[in-house]
Chains A and B, each alone.
Chain A
Amino acid sequence: MRRMTRWLLDGYAALVLLYLFLPIFVIVLYSFNKPAGKFNFVWKSFSLDAWRDPFQYQALVEALKLSLRVAALSTAVATLFGTLIALALVRYRFRGSGAVGLLLVLPLTTPEVVLGSSLLTLFLNVNAPTGFTTIVIAHIMFSVSYVALCVRARIRGFDWTLEEAAMDLGAPPFRVFWKVTLPIIAPGVAAAAMLAFALSLDDFIITLFNAGSRVTYPLYVYGARRAAFPPQINVLATAILFVSLVALGATVLWQHRTVRESTSSPIPLA
């Protein structure tokens, strides 16, 4: 009876994982499709054409480049801002820390369509043209919360007396930060940065409101449903997935070595 329950439970979990992966199989498979028309939604025949020429569609490549630039810039700023907030929350007791915690959670509990539309009304009100800058502003806004909460969760409960020990041994503040604090927080910061990058690269709803005439990678994919949906979209998606897989694997291995805590998950969100 017990064995049966376990067997059922594991089987069910495996099915749920399969559900999560089903569209991924389709994306990879259809990157090898030779579609009959402009749309790559029905299987015709196997082909390597799209893989031989992944950058065939100039607009798609430009969109991806824009997305990567936005993600790099917003991740850098949001990781810095968010990490500083996390350090303040973990290391100090101060007036207003509760309010700070609430202000960090609120963007996560506000629907994206509200975040996007409210930012647009602000930009309209101050007559700021929407474009690259406004996309980056929006992405930093929603990433700061994720970074701060993620870093805070990771560095909470760490042994901060190490810092004091270093200071007692005569290390100057900068050296303490570089040699003690940074190694402690580094895995959390790296995980948060990866999360921010992925969120930025993936964001559609908020970007739609604040992109003006600029087209990011998700916006291109959205537009492609009307004009043409080439298999190159699947090729690039597969490539991004593969790069993420390698990055994810590397981070997991690195964190295993840095923090030998059985409870630390490689997933930054939680």
Chain B
Amino acid sequence: MAGTAAGGSRRSRLAPYLLIAPGILWLLVFFVVPIVTLAQTSVHVVDAPWWDGYYRALNNYGVHFFRSFRYALIATLLALALGYPLAYVIAFRAGRFKNLLLGLVVLPFFTTFLVRTFAWKTILNDEGPAAWLLRRMHLLAEGGRLLDTTLAVVGGLTYNFLPFMILPIYVSLEKIDRRLVEAAEDLYSTPIGAFRKVVLPLSLPGVFAGSLLTFIPAAGDFINAQLLGSPNQQMIGTIIQNQFLAVRDYPLAAALSFVLMLIITLGVLAYARVLGTEELA
């Protein structure tokens, strides 16, 4: 840590590289190299052209890709609709309860993701409380189900990734200079006008970051689809996992994985070009 004051010395020029070396090496060996290996595996096809894995991936599982992105998009929009007002209330209206409320937002996530999803299974099952209540209110037909439906899967996805939406939005709202809001009100803006013209635009980086952090894991997830849905709700993650661990058709499995990553990376790069990577942190 020494030597920052003497900015030009040889030691301080080396210092940052020494500091980053172990972590960056780890990421190169266990993140970058595996992605390259994945790409190689995807074209390592025996008895067929090299693109056979990709051909089968897109030909047979296009519907799963499409469904995954559709579910992830709906879950992201729902998480935004649920998360933004909560983040707003915590940032602007919670006062000294701010930290407590933030703690409450993350607290559920200290029980395992899987146990929580099983709890949803308990809530949504045919004899469970939600179905009973909705039947009593005549919102659900007698034989109607909640479990094994698209609603259950999308609801589960929304639930599981909601904090990833709330926290970045909260951070960007928190950064806003309160005087700007006061200035808007001094200039006879209505509260809604001040929100629309001042608060909302300044919170957009948080909205973008939160949307990515919700959309990406949701698109790749398979637990919610597997536990809360039926085969009709199967997402691409299930297929990838199954091809890798059960069928062991590695070229196809790698191609599926690679296509999923490629589509998402292109989206992220487009995002990064427009807004920079800073807000993701």
Contact surface of A with B, Cβ cutoff 8 Å: 2, 5-6, 9-10, 12-13, 16-17, 19-24, 26-27, 30, 41-42, 80-82, 84-85, 87-89, 91-92, 94, 97, 100-115, 117-122, 124-125, 137-138, 140-141, 144-145, 148-149, 152-153, 160, 163-164, 167, 173, 176-177, 181, 198, 201-202, 204-205, 208-209, 217-218, 221-222, 225, 229, 233-234, 237-238, 240-241, 244-245, 248-249, 252, 256, 263, 265-267, 269-270
B135: Cβ under 8 A from any A Cβ: no
Asked if B268 contacts A109 (CB within 8 A), the reply is: yes
Asked if B113 contacts A113 (CB within 8 A), the reply is: no
Asked if A163 contacts B112 (CB within 8 A), the reply is: no
Q: Can you name 9 A-B residue pairings with CB atoms under 8 Å? A: A16-B86, A23-B116, A81-B26, A107-B31, A112-B220, A122-B34, A173-B2, A225-B118, A233-B115
Given A97-B16, A173-B2, A265-B99, verify A204-B26 contact (CB < 8 Å).
no
Given A26-B119, A141-B27, verify A245-B107 contact (CB < 8 Å).
yes
Residues from chain B with Cβ under 8 Å of A113 in the complex:
220-222, 237, 240-241, 257, 260
Q: What separation, in Å, do the CA atoms of A68 and B267 have in the docked complex? A: 36
Asked if A9 contacts B85 (CB within 8 A), the reply is: yes
Asked if B37 contacts A229 (CB within 8 A), the reply is: no
Residues from chain A with Cβ under 8 Å of B17 in the complex:
88, 94
Asked if B241 contacts A208 (CB within 8 A), the reply is: yes
Residues from chain A with Cβ under 8 Å of B102 in the complex:
265-267
Asked if A94 contacts B16 (CB within 8 A), the reply is: yes
Asked if B268 contacts A138 (CB within 8 A), the reply is: no
Asked if B260 contacts A173 (CB within 8 A), the reply is: no
B152 → chain A, closest Cβ, in Å?
Answer: 13
Given A114-B257, A267-B106, verify A106-B31 contact (CB < 8 Å).
yes
Query: Of all chain A residues, which has the CB nearest B83?
Result: A16
Interface string of B91-125 (1 = CB under 8 A from A): 00100001101111111111111111111111101
Given A113-B222, A153-B281, verify A108-B213 contact (CB < 8 Å).
yes
Residues from chain B with Cβ under 8 Å of A137 in the complex:
30
Contact surface of B with A, Cβ cutoff 8 Å: 1-2, 4-5, 12-13, 15-17, 19-20, 22-24, 26-28, 30-35, 37-38, 40-41, 82-83, 85-86, 88-90, 93, 98-99, 101-123, 125, 127-128, 159, 162-164, 167-168, 170-171, 174-175, 191-192, 212-213, 216-217, 219-223, 227, 237, 240-241, 244-245, 250, 253-254, 257-258, 260-261, 264-265, 268, 272, 277, 280-281
Query: Of all chain A residues, which has the CB nearest B167?
Result: A270
Residues from chain B with Cβ under 8 Å of A100 in the complex:
20, 24
Given A109-B265, A244-B107, verify A82-B118 contact (CB < 8 Å).
no
Q: What separation, in Å, do the CA atoms of A115 and B31 have in the docked complex? A: 7
In this complex, the member of A20, A22, A101, A108 whose beta carbon has the largest number of chain B beta carbons within 10 angstroms is A20
A196 → chain B, closest Cβ, in Å?
Answer: 12
Asked if A205 contacts B237 (CB within 8 A), the reply is: yes
Q: What separation, in Å, do the CA atoms of A164 and B12 have in the docked complex? A: 14
Residues from chain A with Cβ under 8 Å of B38 in the complex:
114, 117-118, 121
A231 → chain B, closest Cβ, in Å?
Answer: 12
Interface of chain A: mostly helix, strand, loop or mixed: helix
Beyond the given pairs A125-B37, A176-B1, 7 more chain A to chain B contacts, judged by CB atoms under 8 angstroms and listed by A's residue number, are A13-B89, A27-B115, A94-B16, A111-B219, A117-B253, A137-B30, A149-B280
Q: Closest 7 A-B residue pairs measured CB to CB?
A: A111-B220, A81-B23, A244-B110, A23-B119, A118-B34, A173-B2, A88-B19
A237 → chain B, closest Cβ, in Å?
Answer: 5
Query: Of all chain B residues, which has the CB nearest A153?
Result: B281
Asked if A12 contacts B85 (CB within 8 A), the reply is: yes
Residues from chain A with Cβ under 8 Å of B192 in the complex:
5
**One of A88, A106, A117, A140 near B244 (C-beta < 8 A):** A117
Asked if B170 contacts A102 (CB within 8 A), the reply is: no
Asked if B85 contacts A23 (CB within 8 A), the reply is: no
**One of B114, B127, B170 near A222 (C-beta < 8 A):** B114
Q: What separation, in Å, do the CA atoms of A132 and B204 have in the docked complex? A: 42
Residues from chain B with Cβ under 8 Å of A112 in the complex:
217, 220-221
Residues from chain B with Cβ under 8 Å of A85 in the complex:
19-20, 23-24
Q: What separation, in Å, do the CA atoms of A111 and B103 have in the docked complex? A: 26
Asked if A110 contacts B122 (CB within 8 A), the reply is: no
Residues from chain B with Cβ under 8 Å of A120 in the complex:
244
